[in-house]
Structure 1
């Protein structure tokens, strides 16, 4: 699978993205988007709580959310929830 990793900046905050050439799709880190949109100091916790609430309400997140390895703040490749940009 050929992939291209990129960092997008939005109001001085990093948003991790990944291009998958086989699927011809961009994937974007949900935690990074949550941090930008909510200005939360704990975006991973915010996402965890929101995901639990949505699942409890019957939302089928598994159809829309995937997991891919992206470079974390510590420089290591870590699995994170992602969504397709379209």
Structure 2
């Protein structure tokens, strides 16, 4: 069963780092950010990403492996922008994104 984890604390930075690097490595064409922009940012940069005001970050986990990510940020007029979505190729088409 897929477990969704809300990354609600800056202490979740190692999980966010693992998920984000997996997504950027597997699907570099799908994101504005590039893999080269992130690995050398250090712990402070990863923590800062999780503490952005109004940010909402989720990872999907199956059998202990991160298989998906979704992140949203506050947008204009009180709306939210879906900024990042990724699902591992090994589980695509199986409803993880739902």
Classify the TM-score, shorter chain: 0.3 to 0.5
The alignment's TM-score, normalised by the length of structure 2, stands at: 0.30
* Greater helix fraction, Structure 1 or Structure 2: 2
* Greater strand fraction, Structure 1 or Structure 2: 1
Give the number of the structure with larger relative contact order, counting CA–CA contacts within 8 Å between residues 6 or more apart.
2
The alignment's TM-score, normalised by the length of structure 1, stands at: 0.33
